[in-house]
Structure 1
Amino acid sequence: MRNISDIIEKYLKSILHESPEGAVEIQRNDLADKFSCVPSQINYVISTRFTVEKGYLVESKRGGGGYIRIRRIEFPGPTSLHTHLQQTIGDEIGQTMAEGLIYQLEEARFISKREAGLMRAAVAREVLMVKLPYRDQIRAQIMKAMLISLLA
């Protein structure tokens, strides 16, 4: 059985996908009640699975009428995608940012699950066993080369 974090993530993604505005507002306590968990579990899911690197903006307002708003960052269309990727990757890119970009490309269906897995394996720090900043520079070059090939 999947853990509660996976279930909460799937639920939030489904309501976000159904939202015409591409954003949802939730009450942390209401969501915690819905899933019979503590509110800090909701915070954990949002802070680890709805990050900027993964293509989400999260805003929150504390207090009695407080809310958490999650908004999906839209990828540019295919025509401006190359420019966006060149700017995002730049001359160097860290592993977290690279994995986030790969995740966004997979979610937007620009690359397949298999291609995403291959890309993650190719840019992993365990594979690129050189010291920083060279590792991030090599990772950027690998990412650019793979994306040019895949998105051509």
Structure 2
Amino acid sequence: MRNISDVIEQYLKSMLLESPEGAVEIQRNDLADQFSCVPSQINYVISTRFTLEKGYLVQSKRGGGGYIRIQRIELPQHLALHAHLSGTIGDKIDQNTAEGLIYQLEEARFLSKREACLMRAAVSRESLAVKLPYRDEIRAKLMKAMLISLMSK
């Protein structure tokens, strides 16, 4: 059985897919009531699963009538994707950012599930048993090489 965080994440993603603007505004307490959980559980899901690295922009308005707005950030189309990725990756990239980018590319269907798994394995700190900052530099070169190869298929 899936845990409550997975259920909340899938619910929010389905709302985003149905939204013509690619954005949803939610009331944290209302959502917590709907899923019979504490509001901090909603915060946890949003802060860990709807990050900028994963392709989401989250804004919140506090106070009475406050809300949380989640917006999907679309990747640039194929022509600009190479420049976007090179700019995002740069000369070095840490593991969390690399995994977030892989996740974003998988969600946008630029990568298959299998390709994403292979890339995560290749750029993990366990696979790159080298001291920092060299590890982040090698990871960036690997990411660029794999993505260029995949984009030219």
- Normalised by the length of structure 2, the TM-score is 0.98
Matched residue count:
152
For 1:15, the equivalent position in structure 2 comes to 15
**2:135 equivalent in structure 1:** 135
Identity value in percent: 80
Equivalence for 1:100: 100
1:60 corresponds in structure 2 to 60
Gaps of 5+ in 2: none
Measure the CA separation in 1 of the matches of 2:38 and 2:84: 39
- Residues 1-152 of structure 1 aligned to structure 2 (within 5 Å): 1-152=1-152
Looking at structure 2, the residues matched to 87 and 41 of structure 1 have their Cα atoms a distance apart, in angstroms, of 34
Residue 18 of structure 1: CA displacement?
0.8
Q: Which amino acid aligns with 2:133?
A: P
Give the secondary structure class of the aligned counterpart of 1:45: helix
CA distance in 2, matches of 1:79, 1:104: 17
Unaligned 5+ segments in structure 1 are none
CA RMSD of aligned residues (A): 0.5
Q: Distance in 1 between matches of 2:13 and 2:41?
A: 16
Q: CA deviation at 1:64?
A: 1.3
